[in-house]
Amino acid sequence: MSELSTNKIAGAALGTALVLSILAVVTPMLFEREPPAKPGYAITVAPEEGAAGAPAENLTPDWGTVLPTADVAAGEAKAAVCKACHMFDPAGANNIGPGLYGVVGRKPASHPGFAYSAAMQAVAAKQPIWDYQHLYEYLKSPQTYAPGTKMTYQGMSSAQDRINLIAYLHTLGSNLPIPPPAPKAAAPAAGKAPASLSGPPPEAPTPGASPAPAPVKAH
Ligand code: HEC
C-alpha cells in the first residue's frame, strides 16, 4: 500500500519532469522569430546618427533612380484610399476631389470644373506643375504642404509607399518624363534612363558578343 503510493508519487514526479522538459523544448520554438526576408527598402528612415552618405529620406529621392524600380502594383494598391474621393479614369470626372488622371505633370488646381480651395490656388501660384517631388511632399502631409487645403486626407508617411503611389499615378496618362538617374547612382554600363515606366528594362550593350576592337592610333 505504502509502496504503491511511493510509486504513485515517483510516477507523478517523473510525469511532471517530462512535461517540464517538453515545455522547455517547445516554448522557445513558439517564440522563435523569423529574421526579415529582406533587410528593407533602399529608402528607409535614415538613422538618427546620420550615417555618411545615407539618402536624405523625405527630402529629395533621386527620381530617375527610384521611379524605374518602384513597385507600381503596390502603388496602385495604396491608391485605394484615394478612391474614396478621387476618380482615376481618363474621363476625369470630379468627385469630392478633382479627377486625378494625368495629374503627374499637370498644373495644380487646374482640373476643369473643380472648385479648388484658396490653399490649392496658392500652391498653383508658386508651383507650375505637379512634379514628382511636389506630389511626394504634398502626399506626405497635405495640410503641412498646403495649409487649409480641402483635401482632408491625413497623408502617407512611408516614403516608399509614396514613391510607389507616384509611380502608379505616372502610368495614368502622365506627360512628365522620368529624369535620368543622378550620375552617382547610375550603373556604369547603363547608358540612358528608360523614357517611360512601361518600356522594357534598359539593355546594356553586350560587350561579350563582339569584342571591341583595340583602339587603333593613327601613328
Ligand atoms: C477625403 C477625401 C480625399 C482623399 C482621401 C484624398 N484626396 Fe486628394 N484631394 C481631395 C480634395 C478635396 C482636393 C482638392 C484640394 C483643394 O482644393 O484644396 C484634393 C486634391 C488633390 C490633388 C491636387 C489635384 C490638382 O488638381 O491640383 C492631388 C494630387 C491629390 N489630391 C492626390 C491624392 C492622392 C494621391 C490621394 C491618396 C493617397 C488623395 N488625394 C486622397 C480630397 C481627397
pLDDT in tens, 70-117: 999 999 999 999 999 999 999 999 999 999 999 999 999 999 999 999
Mean local confidence (pLDDT), 161-177: 97
Q: For residue 138, which of 160, 162, 122 has the smallest C-alpha distance? A: 162
The answer, yes or no, to whether any atom of ligand 1 lies below 6 A from the CB of 145, is no
Please report the pLDDT score of residue 22 as a whole number. 60
Highest mean pLDDT among 24-28, 52-56, 180-184: 180-184
Q: Which domains does the chain have, with CATH numbers?
A: 63-170 (1.10.760.10)
Ligand 1, residue 111: give the atom nearest the CA.
Answer: 26
Q: Report which of residues 9 and 141 the model is more confident about.
A: 141
pLDDT value of residue 189: 54
- Residue 150 near ligand 1, beta carbon < 6 Å: yes
pLDDT band at 33 (very low <50, low <70, confident <90, very high): low
- Produce one character per residue of 207-216: b if its CB has 16 or more CB atoms within 10 Å, e if not: eeeeeeeeee
pLDDT digits (tens, 9 = 90+) for 142-164: 999 999 999 999 999 999 999 99
Does the CB atom of residue 61 touch ligand 1 within 6 A?
no
Q: Assess whether the C-beta atom of 84 lies below 6 angstroms from ligand 1.
A: yes
41 Cα to the center of ligand 1, angstroms: 27
In angstroms, what is the span from residue 44 Cα to ligand 1's centroid? Answer: 25
Is residue 36 scored above 80 in pLDDT?
Answer: no
Residue of 78, 83, 85, 143 with the most ligand 1 atoms within 8 Å of its CB, for mutation: 85
Question: Which atom of ligand 1 is nearest to 119's Cα?
Answer: 18
Whole-number pLDDT of residue 8? 77
Report the Cα–Cα distance between both ends of the chain, in Å, rounded. Answer: 115
Q: How far is the C-alpha of 7 from the C-alpha of 202, rounded, in Å?
A: 79
The ligand 1 atom at the shortest distance from the C-alpha of residue 169 is 35
**What is the DSSP secondary-structure string of the chain?**
-HHHHHHHHHHHHHHHHHHHHHHHHHHHHHH--PPPSS---SS-PPPTT--TT---TTT---HHHHTTTS-HHHHHHHGGGGGGT---STT---SSS---TT-TTSPTT-STT----HHHHHHHHH-SS--HHHHHHHHH-HHHHSTT-S--------HHHHHHHHHHHHTTT--PPPPPPPGGGS-SS--S--SSSSSPPPPPP-TTTSPPPPPPP--
Mean pLDDT, the chain, whole residue set: 79
Nearest-angstrom CA–CA distance, 138 and 106: 14
